[in-house]
Amino acid sequence: MVIPEIPIGKVVESGVYWLNDNFGFLMDIFSKFIDFLISGFKDILMFLPPIAFIFVISILVYIVSRRDLKLTIGTAIGFALIESMDLWNLSIETIALVLASALVALVVGIPTGIMAAKNETIFSIVKPVLDFMQTMPSFVYLIPAVIFFGLGNVPGLVATIVFAMPPAIRLTNLGIRQVPVELREVANAFGTTSMQKLIKVELPVALPTIMAGVNQCIMLSLSMVVIAAMIGARGLGYQVLVGIQRVDIAQGFEAGLGIVIIAIVLDRLTQSITPKE
């Protein structure tokens, strides 16, 4: 008895090709939009020369972190180190990719999370999709991304968005669901509309949890942006990739260090924005 071979891979493959043939124009529009986002962020970040940028970002960190001097000085030294390793442009490109993908992931993810929290039907659909998205190895996203968008920054970003979105959805959903019953009752008892209830009570109360989701989303974006170098995304990830391929320890290590610096700054920054009890 031989179990017949079911051509799952082939079926998916032909489906992906079919989508590409018939909805290619949508992909093009999407691709243009992503490109625009990335270059937009890049232009903004590149506007200032490194020294001025370090100065501005330090002041920004100082204000946002509510005068955390350690974080401010650390940020300044970290970025100075990046510049001294001659990784400035690559780092800016990586940051632009992270910001662009996190932005899209959050703009889609947070409203989805809110809807999932409000509606059990939506939740029951979203939940298995999220499970699926998160259990898939991140490399797997690269394949359809390449088929639809070719090589380069755009497919890298698409894979990143898909990879980084689940925590934003999950934690928004969780945050809204965890709003104490009495606070909902307060909102209702004083005659709020459901929109008022959401904006004046639920979102502010859920904010710390939602911000944890934002933090996760940004951190996952960074990790995926590096992996996406395999399909042509540029930035520090590409530098690491080349370092691996050529067994160039120096280059690989420097690029890796740059990524770590960016990761720490982004992490601390998003965490310090989160309101404390």
Partner 1 sequence: MNFDVYEGETFVLMGLSGSGKSTLLRCLNRLIDPSDGHILIDGDDIATMNDKELREARRKKMSMVFQSFALLPHKTVIDNVAFGLEVQGIPKEERYTKAEEAIVKVGLKGHEASKTSQLSGGMQQRVGLARALATDPDILLMDEAFSALDPLIRSEMQDELIALQDKLKKTIVFVSHDLDEALKIGDRIAIMKDGVIAQIGTAEEILTNPADDYVSEFVAGVDRTKILTAENVMKRPEPVVSINSGLTVAMQLMKKHGISSIFVVDPEKTIKGILLIDDAVKAVKEKRTLHDVLITDVPTVAPDEPVKDIIPMVAESQFPLAVVNERNKLLGVIVRGSILGALTIKEED
Binding site for partner 1 (CB under 8 A): 180, 182-183, 185-193, 196, 200-201, 204-205, 207, 275, 277
Encoded tokens for 149:
């968008």
Nearer residue to partner 1 within complex by CB, 122 or 207: 207
CB of 175 to partner 1, least distance (A): 13
Q: Among residues 122 and 205, whose Cβ is nearest to partner 1?
A: 205
CB of 119 vs partner 1, minimal distance in Å: 18
Minimum distance of partner 1 from residue 210's CB (angstroms): 13
At its nearest, how many Å lie between partner 1 and the CB of residue 8?
49
DSSP 197: I
**CB closer to partner 1, 14 vs 193:** 193
Output the smallest distance, CB 177 to partner 1, in A. Answer: 17
How many helices and strands (H and E) does the chain possess? 13, 0
If DSSP codes are grouped into helix, strand and coil, which group holds residue 86? coil
As a whole number of angstroms, the distance between CA 263 and CA 269 comes to 10
Nearer to partner 1, 21 or 182 (CB): 182
CB nearer partner 1, residue 147 or residue 183: 183
Q: Which residue has the tokens 């799952």?
A: 8
Half-sphere exposure of 50 (CA within 13 A, CB side): 17
Nearer to partner 1, 84 or 196 (CB): 196
Radius of gyration of the chain (CA): 21
Residue 179 C-beta: closest distance to partner 1, Å: 10
Compute CA 107 distance to the chain's CA centroid, rounded to the nearest angstrom.
11
Enumerate long-range contacts of 45-54, CB under 8 Å, 24 or more apart.
45/92, 45/95, 45/96, 46/89, 46/92, 50/79, 50/83, 50/88, 51/83, 53/79, 54/79, 54/80, 54/83
